[in-house]
Chains A and B, each alone.
Chain A
Amino acid sequence: MPGPGPGRRLASGGAIDRTRTLGFTFDGREYAGLEGDTLASALLANGLAGGFQSPLLGRPRGVMSAGPEEPCAFVEVSAPWFDLLAPATMLRLVDGLAAIPRTGVGRLPPPDASAVAARPRHAHVETLVVGGGVAGLRAAREAAGRGDRVLLLDERSWLGGTARSFEQVEGRPAWEWVEETAAALRSTPDVTLLTEAAALGLYDAGYAVIHERSRPVEHLWRVRATRVVLATGAHERPVAFAGNDRPGVMLSGAVLTYLDRFGVLPAERAVVWVANDAGYATARALRAAGAEVVAVVDARREGEAAAQDQARADGLEVLAGAVIVATDAATGSGHVSGAFAVGPDGQRIRLDAELLAVSGGWNPVVQLHRAIGGGLRYDPARACFVPDGGPAWLSATGAAAGEVPAAEPVWHIAAGDGDSSALSTSLSEHFVDLQRDQTVSDVAEALDAGLRSVEHIKRVTHIGTAADQGRTSGTLAAEIVNQLLGADPGAQGPTGARPPWAPLPYHVLAGPFRGRLFDPVRETPIHPWHVAHGAVFENVGQWKRPWYFPREGESMEEAVLRECAAARDGVALMDASTLGKIEVVGPDAATFLDRMYTNAISTLPVGRLRYGVMLGLDGMVFDDGVAMRLAADRYLVTTTTGNAAAVLDRFEEWLQTEWPELRCWATSVTEQWATIAVVGPLAREVLWAAGTDVDVSTAAFPFMAWRDGTVAGVPARVTRVSFSGSLAFEVNIASWHGLQVWEALYAAGQPFGLTVYGTEAMHVLRAEKAFPIVGQDTDGTVTADDLGMSWIVNLRKGDFVGRRSLRRADLTRPNRKQLVGLLPQDTAALIPEGAQLIDPGSVGASPPVPMRGHVTSSYRSAALGRTFALALLEAGRQRHGDTVFAFDARLTEPIAATVADPVFYDPEGARRDG
């Protein structure tokens, strides 16, 4: 812990309210600050110049800046809200604030800590102004004057940026001008001013994402602006010299901000080191506050700057043509106790000081401009990079546009300058990136390794990759590279910039879209019944589908076996409402569907259904379903539950982009219909008991036909289609009748022992018949022939999507993986889905061994009284009867299985009629 430091609150001055004291804790100790403070200013006022530690080397660190460029003073806040990572310089002090220095790796917040809510906000404006300093306020005033809707934001808690109390703007004292201008803007309609709001990124066409750190509700703004004005100001640049990271080494503009805005004097005795005129104002303000200014060390030669003589005239000691080469520190705290200057004569002078205010020049804040593709130009007079070209909607103004003081290019102090036995001046103490603890020595090492590009050097050293995003280190690192390579200043610029430009907590990004709002949930009309009857659900896309319906004390395995047995030997109900349903309507509907499916749909008579498969253009199975002809010009096609949207999109794409001449329209009707499958040998009995005017006898109602009528008193379309191999009817009713008809069928079925079943039993039943599930037994590399379904491909009917690809060499090679059945030789062994198949000779061999295929589906079968699986196996249809071994990391030893025809249940199809 640091002892009492050198800083103190001044008796007067600043934009703080001395009558309003705020209590806070830092590192567990209690302190008091004032309304208007940041945590950093309150720490300095309490004499806490240090108290921080560098993450990698553990060196003592203190507050270096007064703004978002802070590389050292990061804290974790636990009260009154939780914040994992906040620069103390940007944290507005509130009563009860509790903060600890952030050292090392961050911790996740405790589960109950997300007390700060985050909400999205949207805005559309003609002019977005990023930065609320004098330049930004002027830009906003101009835009408001021409009637624009205006949004202006600033990341600090005040407007006016670094305007000083003693400056004049448009003939008015600067702070009064800021107050008057802001008040006028606030009273203008459609003008919004935000503080504590950072622009995280700019995107194409004037899109901006903004994080507003308002408490207790934070906002993530998404703004679309016709014009974006960057008034982001400039960040002062440090210089790399030995011990430039010690507590007490601060940026000169920051020192001035603490004096002027917060009425805080960081130390009683100071050295000011400048490479430009700006630092002289700091020296004067320090002296005005009662501090001793030991010297102003000016890197520019004697007579090069008028400021030198003006300062001398004011009684300041000026060392011209001099640089600071090193600092030394008091034992214990690591705080600066002196600085070593080397003048034009080469003499090294030690200057006693507890504060070293450094100004190496000013970098326009151009990262948002760069991240959207704007270029940079090196300005040699100001020794900085300024915006040069970019999107037409983006402009910069003020310091961001390059209006910064002229500066002597001083980047780092060479090794050996001012060397002395008492003083380490090795380059390994010349810090470039204080947050990543990277020094000139690290940069030199990267160059020695042969790296030349700043982008590569960044990735080796990690300079610029910490939470401060290289605000103080980016340009400095680039210029040190230029200097070490003997190139001109500006030869290489700083590395690219990417959003987010300020740390963004994930909870802000998530906003309210978590838990129930994370993703839409789709439920069938029968869902409440499933919930009431204890269904265990699985997610199928956004749908909640009953997975199985366990009875009291029943395991999943027991429940699924019971459900399957009912569908095979009795009667069972399943909610099939999630099945995708698309109506395809128009005089050319038949022609269109013939081109989409591998088989002929146009020859389907009205009143009948036909199974169909669709291929991708590459010839691979894309989806399957059943087409139902409702009228000469009207079909209803079903799709896989998870593929409904993709199938409709595909219809739209072909209809709109390739065959606009076809008079045919496709409409999703998935949610208009509820579909109930009545499955099993007693299905007819249940329909009769529930009451239907549809003749469901075998003679009157053949397989793959549909009939309109009523079921349980409700208009219904009944189809005879089976995804299980058992006798089955699917009852389609308007979705609002779904629950009513389900309940009627369930009640009617009770005398017959009717059972409800879920998707797991459905999967088992269809697998016993080798009905593939697209996306489970296929993966986009499987053809209809691979599935043993070449019968569905009609090559004589004319062209269809994917047809030409079927002749490609890869699709006709003999060793393609083909769908087979697997019967584990231990009839109780269940092969994990996804397991790889290997030859018997590979068992026990050292890997790699040839992978012959993999298991796509694997279940216990009630009908077979054993386990079975479906698999894709190289040349599998020629291998029926062979033994293969299934293995993966979930197994302790391979499972031997016999390759078989995949149709295990009722290969003759006798059971589908009941």
Chain B
Amino acid sequence: MLLLPCPWCGLREEVEFRYGGQAGIAYPADPDALSDEEWADYLFMRDNPKGPFAERWYHVHGCRRWFNLVRDTATNELLAEGR
């Protein structure tokens, strides 16, 4: 079970968190301007690398804040923390 660094609460057990998938996928500024393909890409397509991966976590059973992490998906090593 991972030990995750919540920026507000410190290291906490993984069971306190909910996974939020890939980080850095911003909601498009003007969704109407996107083609169906571009919208589908935003909606459904995510990276799935073996190695460093920027991802979102939600401290749902704690402070209820979202934050970002960079985690190596092969080793579970935490490489960077963010808010």
A residues neighboring B (CB under 8 Å): 203-207, 224, 373, 391, 617-618, 649, 652-653, 656-658, 799, 803-805, 807-809
Contact = CB atoms under 8 A, between A and B. Distances in A.
Nearest to B56: A657
Contact of A653 (B39, B43, B66, B75): B66
A793 to B, nearest CB: 15
A204 B77 CA distance: 9
Interface in B33-83: 34, 36, 39-40, 43, 56, 58, 60, 64-66, 75-76
Given A204-B14, A657-B56, 10 more contacts: A203-B1, A204-B76, A205-B76, A206-B3, A207-B1, A652-B58, A652-B66, A653-B58, A804-B28, A808-B40
Among A649, A656, A657, A809: residue with most chain B CB under 10 A: A657
Given A204-B1, A649-B58, A804-B31, A373 B75 contact: yes
A668 B17 CA distance: 19
Contact of A204 (B2, B39, B60): B2
Contact of B36 (A391, A652, A803, A808): A808
B43 A618 contact: yes
A511 B56 CA distance: 33
A391 B3 CA distance: 14
Contact of B66 (A224, A656, A803, A809): A656
B32 A804 contact: yes
B58 A617 contact: no
A666 to B, nearest CB: 10
Interface of B: 1-3, 13-14, 18, 20, 26-28, 31-32, 34, 36, 39-40, 43, 56, 58, 60, 64-66, 75-76
Contact of B31 (A391, A653, A803): A803
Contacts of A658: 26-27
Nearest to A372: B76
Contacts of B2: 204-205
A152 B47 CA distance: 42
A548 to B, nearest CB: 35
Contact of B65 (A207, A656, A799, A803): A656
Contacts of A799: 31-32
Contacts of A656: 65-66
27 contacts: A204-B1, A204-B76, A205-B1, A205-B3, A206-B3, A207-B3, A224-B3, A224-B13, A391-B75, A617-B43, A649-B58, A649-B60, A652-B58, A652-B66, A656-B66, A657-B66, A658-B27, A799-B31, A799-B32, A804-B28, A804-B31, A804-B34, A805-B39, A807-B36, A808-B36, A808-B39, A809-B36
A613 B11 CA distance: 38
Contacts of A204: 1-3, 14, 76
Nearest to A809: B36
Identify the interface centre among B20, B28, B31: most chain A CB within 10 Å of its CB.
B31
Nearest to B31: A804
Nearest to A799: B31
Contacts of B14: 204
Contacts of B1: 203-205, 207
Contact of A652 (B56, B64, B75): B64
Contacts of B60: 649
Give 5 closest A-B pairs by Cβ, nearest first.
Answer: A804-B31, A205-B3, A207-B1, A656-B66, A204-B76
Contact of A805 (B43, B64, B66): B43
A618 B27 CA distance: 13
A11 to B, nearest CB: 52
Nearest to A619: B43
Contacts of A617: 43
B28 to A, nearest CB: 8
Contacts of B39: 804-805, 808
B21 to A, nearest CB: 11
A453 to B, nearest CB: 21
B27 to A, nearest CB: 5
Contacts of A808: 36, 39-40
A205 B11 CA distance: 11
A808 B64 CA distance: 33
